[in-house]
Amino acid sequence: MTGVPASAAGGPRTAPVVRQAGLWNIANVLTMLRLVLVPAFVLLLMHGDGTDPVWRVFAWAAFAVAMITDVFDGHLARAYNLVTDFGKIADPIADKAIMGAALVCLSVLGDLSWWVTGVILFRELGITLMRFWVIKHGVIPASRGGKIKTLAQGTAVGMYVLVLTGPLATFRWWVMAVAVALTVVTGLDYVRQAVVLRRAGLARERAVRAERDAAR
């Protein structure tokens, strides 16, 4: 025994143990809350004939809480190393579920044109499938435009959930128009990124194969 730490003496060093975040952490709890809010939101919005202003306010409150938790759960997971496999799967499902439920319900009630719902849902589903298509080549990061699109969609849908008349009803139409435009533009940008990423990935694979063949 020399009293000298093994690391100082040049001995083997033990790799630090990285603590894995457990399932029950604040980020995942917020995601679970958002999933629970989806059926609650639908019941509140569709209560009676779906036109009661008071119940629509309750539905808006549930939608607003869901959208706010969407912001905080991801931030907390990254900031405090609370990323889990459950969160990676459940978070995007919760996002799509609350937005999809709101759009479909509003269209069923006749407050929102079905083509708007179709464009937004087609874009969201298409981008999700496209991410899986290119995932072996890399990850398409969330862009600033995508974040602005999400904010615009949430604001527009929230305004449609409320019973608005007069200038506010006209204003929400324009907000939704901006949201739809951003949905299309950012969707096309994600397609471009996916094509570039896949081409680069395939080029790397061909280069690796060529190097292996040359080494034989």
Name residues whose C-beta falls within 8 Å of residue 90's C-beta, 6 or more positions apart in sequence. Answer: 28, 31, 32, 35
Residue 3 lies in a domain: no
pLDDT value for 64: 93
- The whole-model pTM stands at 0.78
Handedness of CA 4, 5, 8, 12 (dihedral sign): positive
H helices within the chain, ranges in order?
26-45, 53-79, 85-108, 114-133, 144-161, 167-215
**Residues 172-208: tens digit of each pLDDT:** 999 999 999 999 999 999 889 888 888 888 888 888 8
Residue 15 lies in a domain: no
For 183-196, letters b (16+ CB in 10 Å) and e give beebbeebeebbee
**Residues 68-112: tens digit of each pLDDT:** 887 777 667 676 676 676 767 777 788 889 999 999 999 999 999
Cα 74 off chain centre by:
9
Per the structure, the count of domains in the chain is: 1
Residue 78 lies in a domain: yes
Domain of 73 in residue numbering reads as 26-137+144-215
Stretch 124-146: mean pLDDT, rounded? Answer: 79
pLDDT value for 178: 96
Provide the CATH number for the domain around residue 94.
Answer: 1.20.120
Residue 17 lies in a domain: no
